[in-house]
Amino acid sequence: MQITIGHRHIGDSRPCFIIAEAGSNHNRDFDTAIRLIDVAADAGADAVKFQIFAAEKIYSKKTPMASYLKDKKLAKDGETLWDIIKRLEIPRGWTDQLMSHCRKKNIMFLCTPFDIPAVEELEAAGVEAYKIASFEITHLPLIERVARTGKPLILSTGMANLEDIEVALQTFKQAGGRDVALLHCAIAYPPAYENLHLRAMDTLRQAFQAPVGFSDHTMGYITDVAAVARGACIIEKHCTLSRNQEGPDHPFSLEPHELKEMVTAIRQTEAALGSPIKHHTAAEQELYRIARRSLVAARAIPRGSVITRDMIEVKRPGFGIPTRFLDLVVGRRAVRDIEEDDILTWDMV
């Protein structure tokens, strides 16, 4: 189960594809957007991702305010949910410049479109893949349009059940889409650990035979490391220049040094996962010989003596007769003089 985005193969037995989610944390400031790209590249992320949306096409002006925005005082006085989205829109003229800077920094540019005109813009810019957000899994016309591009799709599945996902995938494939990966996700900002259900990644992988990753909104990055250990082949994590900035996504985003720490922790986790074969490694070879136990003479044993149990100790090192052959050695004769603490070998008996 693999897909390819640009030069990167994503899936089983491949390094985790790490997406630094800049999202709307640019605060409509172009220099901030550029700095977020730099932060993602410096951290070692594989891709940096932005979001293209328009308030007019995403929310009715009569949509109630989300409670978490009220509770955390992330909305300004008198603002509606529509107002918040409006002030976070990415200017549509930025795309080419952001992509150009990503190329200079040797990091992939990705973007989540929230409307069909955004797809048209991204196609014109030459984006290599698309991400569909959890909120848009029922926006079937958007999924159809992405499918017709022929580009790979990363589909988040927060709030979705298996039927929702199946309908979205059928829509994608019937419209000509081929390569798709799924992201497990818990929608809350931030979600409680008990609501993450990372084992659901196993269900997605089995049900849809697709690469599966994790889109994370928790504080810190312990769950991202856990997800990679669980088999996630994609990690998407929000990043910011500072959590002290205004905006709904900053509070649960990683600051630059934390993003770098997360990438390092994920790469260390991948290295630690290693091979499923159980054996002693090359690094263990010296201690394999020295620190394991074998049969050792408990006292001097003259040549011709019948070896008794009390003449043998089980000691280190481990390159003598293996301990499992103790009963075979007892009762044999010494073929030469054996000194106390000699490591017993088969040519001695």
Name the one residue in this structure whose structure tokens are 């591009």.
Answer: 149
- Residue 324 belongs to domain spanning: 282-348
pLDDT-above-90 percentage for the chain = 86
Give yes or no: residues 247 and 288 share one domain. no
Give yes or no: residues 198 and 228 share one domain. yes
Is 175 a residue whose pLDDT tops 80? yes
Domain boundary among 273, 290, 318: 273
Give yes or no: residues 117 and 185 share one domain. yes
Domain for residue 246, yes or no? yes
Q: Which residues pair with 287 in a beta bridge?
A: none
* Total domains, the chain: 2
- Pick from 188, 153, 185: nearest CA to 168: 153
Domain for residue 138, yes or no? yes
DSSP assignment of 264-322: HHHHHHHHHH--S--S--GGGHHHHHHTS-EEEESS-B-TTPBP-GGGEEEES-SSSSB
Give yes or no: residues 183 and 310 share one domain. no
Give yes or no: residues 98 and 186 share one domain. yes
pLDDT for the residue numbered 60? 84
- Pick from 277, 233, 237, 281: nearest CA to 256: 237
pLDDT band at 192 (very low <50, low <70, confident <90, very high): very high
Quote the longest CA-to-CA distance of the chain: 101
Give yes or no: residues 151 and 24 share one domain. yes
Domain boundary among 244, 273, 302: 273
pLDDT-above-70 percentage for the chain = 99
Q: What is the CATH number of the domain that holds 269?
A: 3.20.20.70
Domain for residue 59, yes or no? no
Domain for residue 209, yes or no? yes
- Pick from 176, 232, 172: nearest CA to 204: 232
Give yes or no: residues 157 and 186 share one domain. yes
Task: Render pLDDT for 31-90 as a digit per residue (tens, 0 to 9).
Answer: 999 999 999 999 999 999 999 998 888 888 888 887 777 666 667 777 888 888 888 888
pLDDT for the residue numbered 72? 65
Domain for residue 287, yes or no? yes
Give yes or no: residues 94 and 242 share one domain. yes
Q: What is the CATH number of the domain that holds 306?
A: 3.90.1210.10
Averaged pLDDT of the chain:
95
Domain for residue 64, yes or no? no
Domain boundary among 241, 273, 305: 273
